[in-house]
Structure formats: structure tokens, C-alpha cells
Structure 1
Amino acid sequence: MMNINVLRLDHRSKRDARITTHVCLTSRAFGASKIYLGGEEDEKLMKNVEDVVKRWGGGNFEIKYKKNYMNLIEEWQNNGGEVIHLTMYGSQVQDVIGEIRESSKDKLIVVGGSRVPTKVYKKSDYNVSVTKQPHSEVSSLAVFQHMLMDGKEFNLDFDDAIFEVIPTSEGKRVNINERKKERKYD
């Protein structure tokens, strides 16, 4: 099974905390095992994401800061992985997702911040567009990961969870595992 990681470019702690948090949570919920943050280092954001992992499971999900993201991209490719940059200027996702999904290579999905440098476009194996219209990097990531996972993310198990939502058509039902809660917060 391919390993999926996400790289969030150019995080700005004062301006982007909410959107970057949503990028992190989306990457985890849709099957990524790690997210790298480029831009400003943001310990508070990273601790918040780690806390979500503690409470909602998926202890194998990691968040890491990467000062030089171009080194990460090059390392990823040198180790045999593919880099997929999500941009509205790329090939349409519906035209390339089959080829990307068929490849067993590990995936590094790159989502932009402010302005993505040309070198990221040139270095990426794929520049992929989720629609030809401006919209959120969160929505692009969710749609792309959904298509990459072919819907399998709906059945992911997040092991070691303290909280687990029990699907119901009305109201809110959450299972709380008290044993795990005590162990995680000791």
C-alpha cells in the first residue's frame, strides 16, 4: 500500500493557523500518515494537531516542521516517491487520477500557501487541478485524497482513539474509552 504524506507550503502562524489546521486534519482524516509544514514554525498548531491524534486516534499520524521544503521534495523523489502539487493550473484530476492511483510509489501531496514558487511546479511529478476555479487548498486536498483513496478513507480505523463518533441520523453519539483516556493523559 502506498504511503501518503502532505506538504503544506508557506504557513504563516498569525494569518494561516485556522486554514493550516484544517489542511492537517483533512490530510489525516483522508488517509495521510504525515504532514510537513513549510514556512513559519508553529509549535502551538503542531501541538493542537498532536492533541487531536491523541483524542481521536491514529497514533501513527505525524506532523513535522520542514524549514527547507525543496530539500524534502528532492529527498522524496530520490527515495522513489512521487510529488503531486495541487494547483488550479495543472492537469485535471479526473484525467490523471487513474495513472497516479495505479502507481505504487509513495505520494507527497503539496498544497500551497501564499504564492507557490515556479520551482515547485517544475520539480513536481504532477501538477493537478481540482477544478479550474479558485477555491480552498482544504477542498482541493479533500477531493484529491478522496479520489486517490477511491473512497477507502470512509472505512479507515483510527486505532487507540479515546473518542469515536457513532453514526446516527439524529443527535450526537460519541463513545468515550475511559481506559485509553486515563493512559493518554497521565
Structure 2
Amino acid sequence: MALVARAFGARGVFIDGYDESLVNKVRKTVEYWGGSYFEVRLVSDPKGLVRQWRENGGKVIHLTMYGINLPEVENRIREIDNLLIVVGSEKVEGWYYTNADFNVAVSNQPHSEVAALAILLDRLYKGDELNIVFRDAKIRIIPQERGKKVIRTDEQ
């Protein structure tokens, strides 16, 4: 989830619980592949984070297959500057449905939360996130039709 968020233009992720290993893996990815603006933080009180986000004027999107279909709300949410996207992995407490500004469905069918996040970010950025160049990357892939070409920018 964190890697998709980074690659698709999110500014960071908050992860519920304590998983320092995951944080270190994501930070290592950022170090080599770029995106130094991308922040990863562990939170012990995700409900408190949602409350604080809203108190500070931000809006909360909860991705759920039970929500309003994305095409119906994408133009409205695209205009919001300060978004927190909540993505659950198991059964999500009803509290999040009630306290989100938008409950958004990418599909009303069971599917991957990672795919839902990627599709939401793609719609929000109108595909521009696919052109992100991480200028601070130490490793870059040079796109080509066949073969693999990887350069190390920290060796030049």
C-alpha cells in the first residue's frame, strides 16, 4: 500500500500500529528510488488522526466497496487540497463510515485495497502521476521497448 501511494503521487502514509520494519523498508525505497517528500509514520490512534485531520480543515475519504461510486464524486474530491484517504484491510469499524467526509467505492465488488487506492489516485491526478520523475532518485529505470536499462545516479 505504501509503495503504491508513493508511486502514484501521495505525500505520505500513516500506518496503524507498530511495524518499524515496514517503515524502514519504505524509507529505504524512498532513499534509492526517490521521493524524499514522501513521509511514512506509525500511528497508535487512527481515529484520533481522522478527528485531528478534520479539525484542521482537511477532508477524509474512506475507500469502501459500499460507498458512492468514484465517478460520481471524483470531480468534487479533486478540488480538495488536504485529503486523508483511509484504506482498511480487514473489517472496518462503522466509526470510519460515519466520520469520513466521503465513503467512496471504486467498485461495489470485493477487490484489492491496493488497486482501489491506485485507481483513486489515478483519477485524482488525471493520469499525471504516471509521469512523476523522482529527481532525487539514486536508481532510475530508462524506459525502453525491450530489455532492462537501469542507471545509478549516485555513481555519476
The TM-score with structure 2 as length reference comes to 0.96
1:16-55 equivalences in 2 (<5 Å): 23-38=1-16, 40-55=17-32
Gaps of 5+ in 1: 1-22, 181-186
Corresponding letter in the other structure for 1:80: G
Corresponding letter in the other structure for 2:5: S
Distance of 2:84 and 2:99 partners within structure 1: 12
Of 87, 108, 124, which residue of structure 1 is paired with 2:84? 108
- Say what the alpha-carbon RMSD is for the aligned residues: 1.1
Q: CA deviation at 1:156?
A: 1.5
SS at match of 1:63: strand
Corresponding letter in the other structure for 1:55: Y
- Determine the structure 2 residue equivalent to 1:133: 109
SS at match of 2:54: helix
Corresponding letter in the other structure for 2:117: L
- Determine the structure 1 residue equivalent to 2:39: 62
Corresponding letter in the other structure for 1:120: Y
After superposition, give the CA deviation of every residue in 1:96-147 in whole Å (9 maximum; x if it has no partner): 10111123x3110110021110010000000000011101100000000000
Distance of 1:53 and 1:157 partners within structure 2: 13
Distance of 2:30 and 2:135 partners within structure 1: 10
Corresponding letter in the other structure for 1:88: M
Distance of 2:91 and 2:137 partners within structure 1: 37
SS at match of 1:164: strand
Distance of 1:127 and 1:99 partners within structure 2: 13
Q: Percent identity?
A: 41
- Determine the structure 2 residue equivalent to 1:93: 70
Distance of 2:20 and 2:152 partners within structure 1: 28
State the aligned residue count. Answer: 156
Contact 1:88–1:130 (CA under 8 A) maintained in structure 2: yes
Gaps of 5+ in 2: none
The TM-score with structure 1 as length reference comes to 0.81
